[in-house]
């Protein structure tokens, strides 16, 4: 419980109290005067929740938009540039959640990529689940499996990345964000079918657990790849577990991708996921 956990800036949100019960020095970014927000995506969209956002990711996603611009990861401060990351530990995370949880029953662990800190996160998530009776979700790119962490989680939002997310030199130039390397390094890391399969198998062996396979896409043009690279190599999933979410971190970007993605979801019998946070609060962090 005292191992270091690296969190994004204001990485437990939205909250009104610190771990010691003192008032939190900032107003919640939701604009409300109480702790909590809603899950904005996927099967659990609309559920009241508190978020824990870890810092650091093993990928650096960038997507082309139809107008020729580039959409970066919607949380670059937790992936591309973690210079503002904050050191915490399991005790502090547990006490902060306990102080702020109120009637909320859901915790969402997101990032960045939470599994890169799996060993340090697992103990506090087990405590939150067992001592406070909370439902724990994780949002992961599906590139790693870690048994103790998986056992602490109730719902897995598995979001494997398609080749369209690779940060090629051209995308880096257009987005004006230069990485130290070209996209090949991230392309090699982005698929781990055995890790995803172990999580699906874990859910199917535990009736109280569930998962979704969430793909960030621009429309029908991305479907063949997600079928051949992921769905056809995985077993134990149902069409209702597959979620298509449009590329875009702002309302302006989403205007270009929303309807083609709705179209593809209906045609294939899969779910469409909005990005409710963007619709409700705009493109800001901490909501
Ligand atoms: S895997 Fe997720 S957090 Fe990491 S860079 Fe891609 S979109 Fe961002």
The domain locations on the chain are 4-281
d(C-alpha 214, C-alpha 42), whole Å: 7
**83 with 9: CB under 8 angstroms?**
no
Q: Is the minimum distance from the CB of 162 to ligand 1 under 6 angstroms?
A: no
Give the β-pairing of 62-64 and 155-158: unpaired
Selecting from 1.10.3430.10, 2.70.98.10, 3.20.20.70, 3.40.50.300, what CATH number does the domain 4-281 have? 3.20.20.70
**CA distances in angstroms from 168 to 67, 156, 179, 180, listed in the order given:** 17, 29, 10, 12
d(C-alpha 194, C-alpha 217), whole Å: 22
Between the CA of 117 and the centroid of ligand 1 the distance, in Å, is 15
Does the structure show a pLDDT above 90 at 101? yes
Give the atom of ligand 1 at the shortest distance from the alpha carbon of 141. Answer: 1
pLDDT of residue 151: 98
Q: Is the minimum distance from the CB of 116 to ligand 1 under 6 angstroms?
A: no
Between the CA of 113 and the centroid of ligand 1 the distance, in Å, is 7
Which residue's CA is minimally distant from atom 3 of ligand 1? 112
pLDDT of residue 181: 81
Between the CA of 60 and the centroid of ligand 1 the distance, in Å, is 6
Q: How confident is the model at residue 41 (pLDDT cuts 50, 70, 90)?
A: very high
Single pTM value for the model: 0.96
pLDDT of residue 179: 87
Q: Is the dihedral of CA 245, 248, 249, 253 positive or negative?
A: negative
Question: Please, which residues have CB within 8 angstroms of residue 193's CB and are 6 or more apart in sequence?
Answer: 230, 233, 234
Between the CA of 124 and the centroid of ligand 1 the distance, in Å, is 23
Does the structure show a pLDDT above 80 at 71? yes
Read off the tokens for 3.
Answer: 């191992």
Between the CA of 153 and the centroid of ligand 1 the distance, in Å, is 20
Q: Is the minimum distance from the CB of 79 to ligand 1 under 6 angstroms?
A: yes
Q: Is the minimum distance from the CB of 75 to ligand 1 under 6 angstroms?
A: yes
pLDDT of residue 84: 94
Does the structure show a pLDDT above 90 at 224? yes
Give the atom of ligand 1 at the shortest distance from the alpha carbon of 60. Answer: 5
d(C-alpha 40, C-alpha 51), whole Å: 11
Tens-digit pLDDT profile for residues 175-203: 888 888 888 889 999 999 999 999 999 99
Between the CA of 210 and the centroid of ligand 1 the distance, in Å, is 22
């Amino acid at each position: 419980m005292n191992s270091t956990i690296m969190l994004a800036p204001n990485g437990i949100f939205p909250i009104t109290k610190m771990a010691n019960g003192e008032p939190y020095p900032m107003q919640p970014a939701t604009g409300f005067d109480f702790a909590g927000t809603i899950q904005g995506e996927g099967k659990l969209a609309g559920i009241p929740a508190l978020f824990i956002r870890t810092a650091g990711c093993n990928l650096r996603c960038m997507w082309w938009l139809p107008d020729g611009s580039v959409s970066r990861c919607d949380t670059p401060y937790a992936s591309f540039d973690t210079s503002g990351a904050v050191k915490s530990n399991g005790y502090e995370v547990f006490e902060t959640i306990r102080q702020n949880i109120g009637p909320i029953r859901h915790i969402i662990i997101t990032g960045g990529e939470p599994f890169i800190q799996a060993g340090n996160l697992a103990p506090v998530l087990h405590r939150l689940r067992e001592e406070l009776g909370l439902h724990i979700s994780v949002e992961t790119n599906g590139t790693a499996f870690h048994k103790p962490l998986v056992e602490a989680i109730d719902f897995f939002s598995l979001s494997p990345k398609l080749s369209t997310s690779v940060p090629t030199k051209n995308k880096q130039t257009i987005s004006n964000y230069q990485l130290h390397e070209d996209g090949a390094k991230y392309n090699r890391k982005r698929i781990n079918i055995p890790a995803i399969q172990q999580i699906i198998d874990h859910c199917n062996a535990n009736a109280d657990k569930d998962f979704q396979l969430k793909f960030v896409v621009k429309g029908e043009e991305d479907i063949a790849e997600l079928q051949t690279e992921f769905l056809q190599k995985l077993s134990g999933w149902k069409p209702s577990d597959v979620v298509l979410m449009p590329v875009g971190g702002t309302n302006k970007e989403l205007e270009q991708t929303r309807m083609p993605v709705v179209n593809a979801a209906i045609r294939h019998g899969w779910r469409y996921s909005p990005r409710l946070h963007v619709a409700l609060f705009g493109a800001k962090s901490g909501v």
